[in-house]
Amino acid sequence: MAYFISSIFFKFTGTRKEAEVSKLFETTKINEMQLFNRFVRSATWEGMAAEDGACTPRLIELIAGLAEGGVGLIITSHAYIRPDGQAGPRQLGIYRDDLIDGLREMTRRVHKHGSKIALQITHAGFFANFKLTGQRPKAPSQVDGFARSPREELTPAEIQNIVEAFSQAARRAKEANFDGVQIHAAHGYLLSQFLSPAFNKRTDRYGGTVENRARFLLEVLQVLRATLGQDFPILVKINSQDFLGGGLTAEDSLQVDAMLQEKGIDAIELSGGTIVSGDLSPSRRGITSEQKEAYFKKAAKVFKERLHVPLILVGGIRSFRVAERLVDEKYADYISMSRPFIREPALVGRWASGDLRRATCLSDNQCFTPARSGEGIYCVVEKKGKEQG
């Protein structure tokens, strides 16, 4: 109760001084990447790339706006590493060398503001979009219930080809001057599908025990380290659990985290849920109070008690004070947000200036609609408000 009263009391009384002394604005390092605050823009598919996945001037403007708005580390949308791994329309691609130049301009614009930027690399696997790729989606196993059309089960040799495609994608990211890469192993896409017994029914060395299910991800990490060198930051985004019947459990997730730590991952972003987890999807609705914020914080606490690799926490964080407590009370080392930055790209700057009111994002997920339609993301509520004057 005391916490609740004090949070109301402080609602409008922030000062620049208060923000300045906050741990949230400390300078830290992830591997050799120096960050001027602890705020991260979580990977967000904008639906603004060209048809072939090339970076566009409009996408660069959006990303540069986040850097100008004070985000310490920007993680791009998930970029597909092979044409058969595309999930959505106008998704960013990193599967050809001629895509590097456009991305280099993106990183240049971000660096002008002192922010850092990591490329999220992905393959959609089971959820690759047949209409966009023209190919039958490739998956760990044939499983019923998540899609009508059959999937193609990956052979060990094909898995190795995808590991190599991750490596090539990471090499391109480094050539485009990204400060790091993030392996997307969350939300039910390919690497997450291998981790998850709900999708992975294999009986070979890539299925069964948690060590076997993690093998593909660990092979990707190993090849990326060899390609990128010891100093280059490699991050991963992973589910704390899938919230699916028979999916990845909290305990399995912690075991995978421990394996990643042992194999030299530089930071882990903890998320949860998949695109077929219903109300418990990664982007939950109705985050209307501080109590509902940071919906993976319990998992984060256990993670921090067991592991020492830096933890980036995402999922429903909306208030400066919640963010601050998460860091002060050792739930997380970094605060990651997606939807709040769609409405307020300068949210971090606002907080830094002493205006500590919570993010205005309503967590209603209307922002997905313009991404899907090909318009490109924006906050629908904000736009309607402006149109109505």
Ligand X SMILES: Cc1cc2nc3c(=O)[nH]c(=O)nc-3n(C[C@H](O)[C@H](O)[C@H](O)COP(=O)(O)O)c2cc1C
Query: What amino acid positions are annotated as catalytic residues?
Result: 189
Which one, 207 or 314, has the nearer CB to ligand X? Answer: 314
Q: What SS3 string covers the chain? A: CHHHHHHHHCCCCCCHHHHHHCHHHCCEEECCEEECCCEEECCCCCCCCCCCCCCCHHHHHHHHHHHHCCCCEEEEEEEECCHHHCCCCCCCECCCHHHHHHHHHHHHHHHCCCCEEEEEEECCHHHCCHHHHCCCCEECCCCCCCCCCCCEECCHHHHHHHHHHHHHHHHHHHHCCCCEEEEEECECCHHHHHHCCCCCCCCCCCCCCHHHHHHHHHHHHHHHHHHHCCCCCEEEEEECCCCCCCCCCHHHHHHHHHHHHHCCCCEEEEECCECCCHHHCCCCCCCCCHHHCCCCHHHHHHHHHHCCCCEEECCCCCCHHHHHHHHHCCCCCEEEECHHHHHCCCHHHHHHCCCCCCCCCCCCCCCHHHHHHCCCCCCHHHHHHHHCC
Give 207 or 311: the residue with its C-beta nearer to ligand X.
311
Distance CA 39, CA 52 (A): 31
Nearer to ligand X by Cβ, of 124 and 207: the residue is: 124
Q: In whole angstroms, how close is the CB of 275 to ligand X at the nearest point? A: 10
Provide the minimum distance between the beta carbon of 340 and ligand X in the complex, in angstroms, as a whole number: 6
In the complex, minimum distance from the CB of residue 267 to ligand X, in angstroms, rounded to a whole number: 14
Least distance (Å) between residue 91 CB and ligand X: 8
Kindly give the pairing relationship between strand 311-313 and strand 180-185: unpaired
What's the min distance (Å) between Cβ of 43 and ligand X?
Answer: 3
Between 285 and 384, CB nearer to ligand X = 285
Question: 16 or 372: whose CB is closer to ligand X?
Answer: 372
Interacting residue ranges for ligand X, rule: CB under 6 A: 42-45, 77-78, 120, 184, 186-187, 237, 271, 282-283, 314-316, 337-340, 367-368, 371, 377
**What DSSP state is assigned to residue 236?**
E
Report in angstroms how near the CB of residue 66 gets to ligand X at its nearest.
Answer: 13
Nearer to ligand X, 74 or 377 (CB): 377
